Amino acid sequence: MPKSSAPLIIGLIIALVVGGILIGENINLLPVDASSNATVYDELFKVLFSIGTILFLGIVGLVIYSLIRFRRKPGQIGDGLAIEDNLPLEIFWTAVPTIVILFVGLYSYDIYDRMGGMQSLQHANHNSQQMAANQRIWGGIGSGSISANNMEGKVGALPVEVTAMQFAFLFHYPKGDILTGELHVPVGEPVSLRMESKDVIHAFWVPEFRIKQDVIPGQPTILNFTPTKPGRYPIICAELCGPYHGGMRSTVVVEESNDYQTWFEKNSKDITTQT
């Protein structure tokens, strides 16, 4: 390669990196972020989207450039350059993906940790005997956020028991003994779901919260989250569960604290919890 083309190549690489980062940072492909998890998730998404854009445009650009630049012109005969190997080049393009992968891996580990994924699983308001009875409780992301919040002196998480069945979700609030088909939660407060399925595998997914956890028969799972924006968001079953799988939807209503309290008191069967 002639030396004169070096500045051009460096310029193109810089343009590619800057362009990729601009695209990744500015094009939003995600729905509204309505939980503390979602903001962390969107941060990861932007980084992955930027790296992906740079790699994709870079490789596709090289392929299309080669196809145009090195196409066989009419009348051309003979073969191309007989280059079979280039060790420094091979080392270079082994090292680049390795470094990118290591960076992505470490970064996503950090994100995972910030979502509470690496903390030990616990569920608010389920006493230790109950935990022992189900020796192995598995959880989704955010499983550990409660203890973190407790340390900060916040109130404990709101416990809700979720039962999934063909083709509905049922929500039971142990405090107040409320049974409802629509999940109501106060904004800014941690919520802890303990989920179990009555029949086949379902999955609890709220796209605006960026969380998903399978709901498994015979195996309770836990999902913790903290909603941050009031509104009504869909709860979607994400695991094929039968003919009406597509219709297995519910709603999570994130309300301001006093609205939630009003709803709670109206529906509560347990008089002692009413204030």
Tell me which residues in 184-243 interact with other proteins (CB under 8 A): 199-201, 203, 205, 207-208, 210-214, 216-219, 221, 234, 236-243
Q: Does 8 bind other proteins (CB under 8 A)?
A: no
Q: Is 22 helix (H, G, I), strand (E, B) or coil?
A: helix
Smallest distance, other proteins to C-beta of residue 160, A: 19
Smallest distance, other proteins to C-beta of residue 194, A: 13
Q: Which of 2, 4, 72, 132 binds other proteins (CB under 8 A)?
A: 72
Q: Does 93 bind other proteins (CB under 8 A)?
A: yes
Alpha-carbon gap, residue 122 to 139, rounded angstroms: 9
Alpha-carbon gap, residue 36 to 144, rounded angstroms: 13
- Residue 160 makes CB contacts below 8 A (sequence gap 6+) with 171, 172, 173, 183, 185, 191, 192, 193, 194
Is residue 203 classed exposed, middle or buried when 0-12, 13-18 and 19+ CB atoms within 10 A define those classes? buried
171 is catalytic: yes
Task: Find the binding residues for other proteins in span 11-30 (CB under 8 A).
Answer: 29-30
Q: Which of 13, 244, 262, 274 binds other proteins (CB under 8 A)?
A: 244
45 is catalytic: no
Q: Is 212 helix (H, G, I), strand (E, B) or coil?
A: strand
Is residue 127 classed exposed, middle or buried when 0-12, 13-18 and 19+ CB atoms within 10 A define those classes? exposed
* Stretch binding other proteins (CB under 8 A), from 12-20, 108-116, 125-133, 150-158: 108-116
Q: Is 180 helix (H, G, I), strand (E, B) or coil?
A: strand
Considering the complex, state which of residue 196 and residue 259 has its C-beta at the smaller distance from other proteins. Answer: 196
Enter the tokens of residue 34.
């309505």
Considering the complex, state which of residue 43 and residue 259 has its C-beta at the smaller distance from other proteins. Answer: 43
Residues in the chain: 275
Q: Does 63 bind other proteins (CB under 8 A)?
A: yes
Q: Which of 12, 18, 59, 148 binds other proteins (CB under 8 A)?
A: 59
Number of residues that bind other proteins (CB under 8 A): 80
Considering the complex, state which of residue 143 and residue 149 has its C-beta at the smaller distance from other proteins. Answer: 143
Residues catalogued as catalytic: 169, 171
